[in-house]
């Protein structure tokens, strides 16, 4: 019999998972989202087979339930699911960026015998919404699973089979360890990126040129400051203690840097940068899917009618699919005025070559 997958919260991650599951399984995929727009768009894009009128309606018939909402909502949703008389063999998972709170809620609320396994794909983007969903989003990335008393080894194996289409590397981890590591490598960098942007934003009030001159390094290190504010607020609140510890550690590091600068200590400053470079250079090579920024290409186009259709036709003639297109409003803010998004690095490269032949300057700004 056809299996049924039910996704609650059909944005970037829910939509991307729907696409990966569709590839590998003959299952019916349905979804519920508080945003009707997201559901309509998902149906139009073929990301899901049907929309559900409520959480209860979808959860009742599902073999796999995926909660892919912001972490704050996940708690409420688990409480709703707890009252649904669903299939006894159903597996429930989430994809939230924090795990301890969610695992505790599942433990507190779900009836004995209900299977819940925490999940966190360590790949994503600063973009949100089902329109940004991409079946290659998780390729080669780590996908953390946090099994608990609420799951068996056999259920974990079944869940991994559902997720094979992600082509991610599954790792199992305790929720507290997950929150410590994710706190350091993912959550805290978001605080730093937003604080750096704040610093330059304040500076630009007096020196407007700062905004226009912000390039290279500043763009690299602050890309994630363009992420969803609501999502990151909730992640911070769910991983508050780890963030407080990280802020303490950071203040101590800044104090040491201040001393090095006050002492004009050239040797210490050199070592500070050299140590950082050594560790950074030794990070695993960024392969597709390992927390990618999407495959965007900025194209500097002249301002005359029809130029956009000229560019898109050129790419279509070469069989290169564009997944998104946006006209950037401020030329000063970014090199190039047209932002094209592609499904893969290969497509972006092909587009770069194709447009290069036609003498359009292109830029990659990750």
Ligand X SMILES: O=C(O)C(=O)Cc1ccc(O)cc1
Ligand Y SMILES: NC(=O)C1=CN([C@@H]2O[C@H](COP(=O)(O)OP(=O)(O)OC[C@H]3O[C@@H](n4cnc5c(N)ncnc54)[C@H](O)[C@@H]3O)[C@@H](O)[C@H]2O)C=CC1
Give the three-state DSSP class for 150.
coil
Of 19 and 95, CB closest to ligand X: 95
From the list 63, 48, 70, the residue with the least C-alpha distance to 3 is 63
| Site track for ligand X across 156-195, x = CB under 6 A | ------------------------------x---------
* Sign of the Cα pseudo-torsion (182, 187, 190, 192, in order): negative
Least Cβ distance, residue 289 to ligand Y (angstroms): 12
Q: What is the CA radius of gyration of the chain?
A: 23
**Per CB under 6 A, does 128 bind ligand Y?**
yes
Which of 55, 93, 122, 299 touches ligand X by CB under 6 A? 122
Residue 34: contacted member of ligand X, ligand Y, none (CB under 5 to 8 Å, by partner type): ligand Y
Concatenated DSSP letters for 154-197?
HHHHHHHHHTGGG--EEEE--HHHHHHHHIIIIIHHHHHHHHHH
From the list 232, 152, 162, 220, the residue with the least C-alpha distance to 190 is 232
Which of 11, 58, 124, 165 touches ligand X by CB under 6 A? 124
Burial class (CB in 10 A: 0-12, 13-18, 19+), 132: buried
Residue 117: contacted member of ligand Y, ligand X, none (CB under 5 to 8 Å, by partner type): none
Q: Please choose, out of 30-38, 138-146, 321-329, 351-359, the segment that lies near ligand Y by the rule CB under 6 A.
A: 30-38
Which two tokens mark 151?
């799951």
Residue 11: contacted member of ligand X, ligand Y, none (CB under 5 to 8 Å, by partner type): ligand Y
Residue 186: contacted member of ligand X, ligand Y, none (CB under 5 to 8 Å, by partner type): ligand X
Place of tokens 């030794």: 282
**Per CB under 6 A, does 67 bind ligand X?**
no
Residue ranges that bind ligand X, judged by CB under 6 A: 97, 122-126, 186, 224, 291
């Amino acid at each position: 019999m056809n299996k049924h997958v039910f996704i609650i919260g059909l944005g970037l991650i829910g939509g991307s998972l729907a696409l990966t599951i569709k590839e590998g399984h003959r299952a019916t995929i349905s979804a519920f989202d508080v945003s009707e727009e997201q559901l309509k768009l998902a149906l139009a894009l073929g990301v899901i087979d049907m929309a559900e009128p409520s959480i209860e309606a979808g959860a009742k018939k599902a073999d796999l339930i995926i909660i892919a909402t912001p972490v704050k909502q996940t708690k409420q949703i688990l409480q709703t699911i707890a009252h649904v008389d669903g299939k006894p063999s159903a597996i429930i998972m989430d994809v939230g960026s924090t795990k301890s709170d969610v695992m505790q809620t599942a433990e507190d609320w779900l009836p004995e015998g209900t299977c819940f396994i925490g999940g966190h794909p360590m790949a994503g983007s600063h973009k949100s919404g089902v329109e940004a969903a991409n079946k290659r989003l998780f390729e080669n990335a780590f996908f953390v699973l946090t099994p608990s008393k609420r799951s068996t080894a056999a259920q974990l194996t079944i869940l991994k089979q559902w997720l094979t289409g992600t082509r991610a590397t599954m790792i199992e981890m305790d929720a507290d360890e997950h929150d410590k590591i994710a706190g350091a490598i993912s959550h805290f960098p978001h605080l730093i990126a937003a604080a750096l942007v704040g610093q330059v934003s304040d500076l630009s009030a007096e020196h407007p040129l700062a905004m226009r001159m912000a390039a290279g390094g500043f763009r690299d290190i602050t890309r994630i400051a363009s992420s969803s504010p609501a999502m990151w607020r909730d992640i911070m609140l769910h991983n508050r203690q780890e963030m407080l510890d990280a802020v303490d550690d950071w203040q101590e590091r800044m104090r040491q840097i201040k001393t090095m600068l006050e002492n004009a200590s050239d040797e210490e400053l050199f070592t500070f940068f050299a140590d950082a470079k050594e560790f950074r250079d030794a990070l695993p090579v960024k392969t597709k899917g390992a927390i990618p920024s999407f495959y965007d290409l900025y194209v500097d186009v002249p301002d005359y009618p029809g130029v956009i259709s000229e560019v898109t036709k050129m790419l279509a003639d070469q069989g290169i699919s564009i997944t998104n297109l946006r006209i950037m409003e401020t030329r000063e803010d970014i090199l190039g005025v047209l932002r094209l998004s592609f499904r893969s690095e290969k497509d972006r490269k092909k587009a770069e070559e194709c447009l290069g032949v036609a003498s359009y300057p292109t830029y990659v700004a990750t």
